[in-house]
Amino acid sequence: MNTKYSILVPAYNEQEVLKIFYDTATKQFDTLKEDYEIIFVNDGSKDNTYSILKELAEQDKRIKVINFSRNFGQQAAELAALQYATGEAIIIMDCDLQDPPEVALQMIEKWKEGYDVVHGKRKKRQSETAFKKLTAHVYYRFLRRITGMDIPTDTGEFKLYDRKVVEAILKLPEHNRYLRALATWVGFKQTSISFDRPNRSAGVTKWTLKKMIKLAEDGIIANSAYPLALALKCGIFLSFASLLTFIVFIILAIVGTSLSLVAWLFPTVGLLAGIILVMQGFSNLYIGRVYDEVKGRPNYIVSETINIE
Query: Please, what is the minimum distance in Å from the beta carbon of residue 102 to ligand UDP?
Result: 17
Decide if 24 contacts 98 (C-beta within 8 A): no
Give the DSSP per-residue string, 120-147: EEEEEESS--HHHHHHHHHHHHHHHHHH
Query: Please, what is the minimum distance in Å from the beta carbon of residue 68 to ligand UDP?
Result: 9
Quick check: helix, strand or coil at residue 35?
coil
Say how far apart CA 269 and CA 262 lie, in whole Å.
10
Quick check: helix, strand or coil at residue 210?
helix
Pick what 12 binds: Mg ion, ligand UDP, none; C-beta below 5 to 8 Å, kind-dependent: ligand UDP
Decide if 145 contacts 220 (C-beta within 8 A): no
Residue 94 touches Mg ion, criterion: CB under 5 A: yes
Residue 16 touches Mg ion, criterion: CB under 5 A: no
Query: Which residue type, as a one-letter code, is found at position 60?
Result: D
Residue 15 touches Mg ion, criterion: CB under 5 A: no
Q: Which residues of this protein are in contact with ligand UDP, per CB under 6 A?
A: 10-12, 14, 43, 71, 73-74, 77, 94-96, 98, 205-207
Of these, 75, 98, 192, 223, which contacts Mg ion (CB under 5 A)? 98
DSSP class of residue 151 equals P
Residue 37 touches Mg ion, criterion: CB under 5 A: no
Query: Please, what is the minimum distance in Å from the beta carbon of residue 218 to Mg ion?
Result: 19
Toward Mg ion, which CB reaches closer, 10 or 44?
Answer: 10
Query: Please, what is the minimum distance in Å from the beta carbon of residue 65 to ligand UDP?
Result: 13
Toward ligand UDP, which CB reaches closer, 12 or 36?
Answer: 12
Say how far apart CA 186 and CA 162 lie, in whole Å.
12
Query: Please, what is the minimum distance in Å from the beta carbon of residue 9 to ligand UDP?
Result: 6
Toward ligand UDP, which CB reaches closer, 72 or 115?
Answer: 72
| Residue 47 backbone phi and psi in degrees, to 5 | -100, -155
Nearest to 117 by CA among 150, 74, 166: 166
Residue 116 touches Mg ion, criterion: CB under 5 A: no
Decide if 252 contacts 204 (C-beta within 8 A): no
Q: Which residues bind Mg ion (CB under 5 A)?
A: 94, 96, 98
